[in-house]
């Protein structure tokens, strides 16, 4: 059994039940069903790793020459480590990092090519100096608007032809990002794993050098349904910009 096969079989637990906030919370703060909210509030270790087929895709997509980044950390981090990619994992959870390191030591997995950034992604990503990344996995905080914030600060750190993977697209906070990227000419869908994890390839060097009217998701009725009065205002605004009042 290879190391990656063992990882997929073990699915080790590195996460607390609730990973997005540090404070304790009451079940009635959650919009989940009471039974599930109570389990989250009680804590306990669990595994939130992406699906095995996604982990295998990661293993097949990177090598020792790859420069990679993920928001969040877990089993995917160990996949990058086994493939000796030059990898950065951004997570504010020190307990996750300790658990990953302990598992790596116990299973003779070198983390020499992995750098952990133990702070929130919205603090680290705006100031980081990364460029020409080959692959980015967005699987950090899923509360709105964090998926968009993480995307905004990483999209142009990814090189043209690089892969952007977003997980948990079934959630509305991530689904909005998926819908935007699927409609945007700067991205091509490479793989869709049951609507939950979607792999995009970047088709041009920069994705931020656009105006609102250049984005199909903003304009095309096939991408988003605009109320007639909203669409009319947008057309009038465009005409004023072009021809004046």
CA–CA distance, 46 with 12 (Å, rounded to integer):
8
Where do the domains of the chain lie? 3-11+50-210, 212-245
* Burial per residue of 61-86, b for 16 or more beta-carbon CB atoms within 10 angstroms, e otherwise: bbeeebbbbbbbbbbbbbbbbbbbbb
Residue-wise pLDDT for 74-117, tens only, equals 999 999 999 999 999 999 989 899 999 999 999 999 999 999 99
The whole model's pTM is what? 0.83
Q: Which CATH number fits domain 3-11+50-210: 1.10.10.10, 3.30.200.20, 3.90.45.10, 3.40.50.150?
A: 3.40.50.150
Considering only CA atoms, which of 196, 205, 106, 88 is closest in space to residue 150?
88
**Residue 55 reports pLDDT greater than 90:** yes
């Amino acid at each position: 059994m290879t190391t990656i096969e063992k990882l997929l079989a073990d699915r080790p637990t590195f996460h607390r039940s609730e990973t997005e906030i540090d404070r304790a919370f009451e079940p009635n703060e959650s919009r989940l069903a009471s039974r599930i909210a109570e389990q989250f509030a009680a804590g306990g270790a669990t595994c939130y790793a992406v699906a095995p087929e996604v982990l295998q895709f990661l293993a097949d997509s990177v090598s020792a020459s790859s420069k990679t980044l993920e928001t969040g950390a877990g089993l995917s981090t160990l996949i990058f480590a086994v493939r000796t990619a030059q990898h950065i994992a951004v997570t504010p959870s020190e307990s996750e990092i300790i658990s990953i390191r302990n598992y790596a030591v116990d299973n003779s997995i070198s983390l020499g090519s992995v750098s952990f950034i133990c702070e929130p992604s919205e603090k680290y990503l705006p100031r980081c100096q990364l460029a020409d990344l080959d692959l980015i996995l967005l699987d950090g905080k899923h509360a709105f608007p964090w998926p968009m914030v993480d995307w905004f600060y990483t999209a142009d750190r990814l090189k043209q032809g690089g892969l952007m993977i977003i997980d948990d697209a079934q959630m509305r906070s991530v689904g909005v990002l998926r819908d935007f990227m699927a409609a945007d000419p700067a991205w091509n869908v490479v793989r869709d794993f049951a609507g939950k994890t979607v792999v995009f390839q970047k088709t041009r060097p920069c994705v931020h050098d656009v105006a609102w009217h250049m984005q199909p998701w903003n304009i095309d009725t096939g991408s988003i349904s605009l109320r007639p009065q909203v669409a009319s205002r947008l057309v009038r605004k465009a005409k004023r910009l072009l021809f004046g009042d």
